């Protein structure tokens, strides 16, 4: 059977998979390190070209490049899509301090879970499918180089939508959960930066002429936090505040960074107007405020197609003794939103399982690398029943 051949291929290449995982984790590719991200993309390009893939790079000046690859593009059936990203949240130099290591069945290192393990899993699902003679439909792959920054300096979100159109199903190999949750919905994410300019003054000799940027931003911060509407599903968080230099001077500069999470894309104009109104109001005369929009993700909507694909994943789990997955909607954004926008049934969090991503304690369960590669390939075999 084809599935048995696929599983055997993965079992026989466990050492090779671990070696690639280690190699990718030990390659610096923080979102701000364009050169590092591009080198990782080039390495994956070489791997896929060796498998017969046609590979294109969308190049960006201020963001990591995006990889687009396809195998069997002339096949009659609609393609299956694997997607993800190769950038991490970690600064250059992290690898030297915390390289890839394995302890007690868990792998550690920057990006080991989010999401270089997921990249290795789908690469070997593709390799195994080819080795077993799979030729029913094209296999397409999209890898962003700037996901962690919300594609702030690229058009990768639009590329995802355009390239995904017409696919039969999409598997986003983002961070997997240890309890086998499969993500079928995600909130959207929007970021704003609010900066206040005031007037500096010596608080002992000239206090009446100072105009405190910190006091102004404090008023605005509290107003932003009041906007949260749990019933609507829109939440506001001021997660960063900066300002001032010394305690004996009126601060002439202050800044906050705002994170907004939302369920419905139609909420965007409303909360944007709300934040703009707060920025426009002056609490401390003589201060001025600037508002800048930052990184954003559209919501991943739980469509009927998404639900059908989840059922296929659940059946595949049961058939192969992988456990009992369940549907989960989460607050974190991801590029799975854009494949759903393209009309493609999509499931997310199909990468290696683990926890503590974006932290020094980020880890992935080693055995899940092989299980998820098998799961992804087995799901592709079942797509005709979708």
Residues 6 or more apart whose Cβ sits within 8 Å of residue 215: 283, 284
7 and 150 part of one domain? yes
304 and 284 part of one domain? no
C-alpha distances (whole Å) from 283 to each of 108, 268, 343 are: 48, 26, 46
- Chain centroid, CA 16 distance in Å: 26
155 and 175 part of one domain? yes
Q: What is the DSSP string of 35-90?
A: HHHHHHHHHHHHHHHHTT-EEEEE--SSSEEEEEEEE-TT-SSPPEEEEEE--BSP
In terms of DSSP bridges, do strands 169-172 and 353-355 run parallel, antiparallel, or are they unpaired? unpaired
Domain of residue 195, CATH code? 3.30.70.360
What does the alpha-carbon distance between residue 316 and residue 322 come to, in Å, rounded to a whole number?
8
162 and 222 part of one domain? no
130 and 205 part of one domain? no
130 and 206 part of one domain? no
pLDDT of residue 94: 97
331 and 209 part of one domain? no
**Integer distance in angstroms from the first to the last C-alpha of the chain?**
20
Choosing from 281, 297, 313, the residue where a domain stops is 297
User: Are 108 and 101 within 8 A, CB to CB?
Assistant: yes
287 and 316 part of one domain? no
Which residue from 61, 313, 30, 287 is spatially nearest to 169, judged by alpha carbons? 313
Indicate the helix (H) or strand (E) that contains 260: strand 253-262
Choosing from 244, 265, 297, the residue where a domain stops is 297
What does the alpha-carbon distance between residue 115 and residue 176 come to, in Å, rounded to a whole number?
9
Domain of residue 29, CATH code? 3.40.630.10
150 and 66 part of one domain? yes
Give the residue ranges of the chain where pLDDT is below 70.
none
Three-state SS for 297? strand
Three-state SS for 386? coil
What does the alpha-carbon distance between residue 116 and residue 157 come to, in Å, rounded to a whole number?
20
C-alpha distances (whole Å) from 194 to each of 211, 272, 278, 284 are: 17, 12, 10, 15
174 and 314 part of one domain? yes
Tally of structural domains, the chain: 2
Q: What is the total residue count of the chain?
A: 386
pLDDT of residue 201: 97
User: Are 335 and 157 within 8 A, CB to CB?
Assistant: yes
Choosing from 297, 329, 344, the residue where a domain stops is 297
Domain carrying residue 193: 188-297
216-245 pLDDT, tens digit per residue, is 999 999 999 999 999 999 999 999 999 999
Active site residues: 87, 147
pLDDT of residue 385: 77
pLDDT of residue 294: 87
**192 φ/ψ angles, rounded to the nearest 5 degrees:** -135, 145
176 and 32 part of one domain? yes
pLDDT of residue 299: 96
Answer whether the bond into residue 251 is a cis peptide, omega within 30°. Answer: no
291 and 305 part of one domain? no
């Amino acid at each position: 059977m084809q599935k048995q051949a696929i599983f055997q291929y993965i079992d026989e290449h466990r050492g090779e998979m671990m070696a690639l995982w280690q190699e990718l984790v030990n390659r610096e590719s923080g979102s701000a390190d364009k050169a590092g991200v591009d080198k990782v993309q080039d390495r994956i390009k070489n791997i896929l070209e060796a498998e017969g893939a046609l590979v294109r790079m969308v190049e960006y000046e201020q963001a990591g490049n995006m990889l687009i690859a396809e195998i069997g593009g002339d096949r009659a059936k609609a393609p299956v899509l694997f997607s993800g990203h190769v950038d991490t949240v970690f600064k250059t130099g992290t690898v030297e301090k915390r390289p890839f290591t394995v302890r007690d069945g868990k792998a550690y290192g920057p990006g080991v879970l989010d999401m270089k393990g997921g990249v290795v899993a789908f690469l070997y699902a593709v390799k195994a499918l080819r080795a077993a003679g799979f030729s029913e439909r094209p296999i397409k792959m999209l890898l962003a180089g700037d996901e962690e920054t919300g594609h702030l300096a690229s058009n990768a979100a639009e590329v995802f939508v355009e390239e995904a159109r017409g696919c039969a199903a999409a598997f986003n190999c983002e961070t997997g959960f240890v309890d086998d949750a499969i993500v079928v919905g995600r909130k959207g994410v929007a970021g704003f930066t609010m900066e206040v300019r005031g007037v500096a003054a010596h608080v002992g000799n000239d206090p009446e002429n100072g105009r405190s940027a910190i006091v102004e931003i404090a008023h605005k911060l509290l107003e932003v936090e009041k906007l949260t509407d749990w019933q609507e599903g829109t939440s506001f968080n001021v997660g960063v505040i900066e300002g001032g230099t010394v305690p004996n001077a009126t601060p002439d500069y202050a800044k906050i960074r705002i994170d907004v999470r939302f369920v419905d894309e139609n909420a965007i104009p409303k909360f944007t107007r709300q934040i703009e109104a707060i920025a426009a109001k002056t609490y401390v005369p003589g201060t001025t405020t600037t508002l800048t929009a930052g990184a954003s993700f559209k919501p991943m909507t739980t469509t009927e197609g998404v639900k059908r694909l989840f059922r296929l994943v659940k059946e595949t789990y049961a058939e192969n003794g992988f456990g009992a997955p369940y549907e989960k909607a989460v607050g974190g954004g991801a590029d799975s939103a854009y494949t759903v926008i393209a009309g493609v049934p999509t499931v997310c969090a199909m990468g290696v399982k683990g926890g503590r991503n974006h932290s020094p304690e980020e880890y992935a369960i080693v055995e899940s690398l092989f299980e998820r590669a098998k799961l992804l390939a087995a799901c592709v075999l079942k797509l005709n029943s979708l």
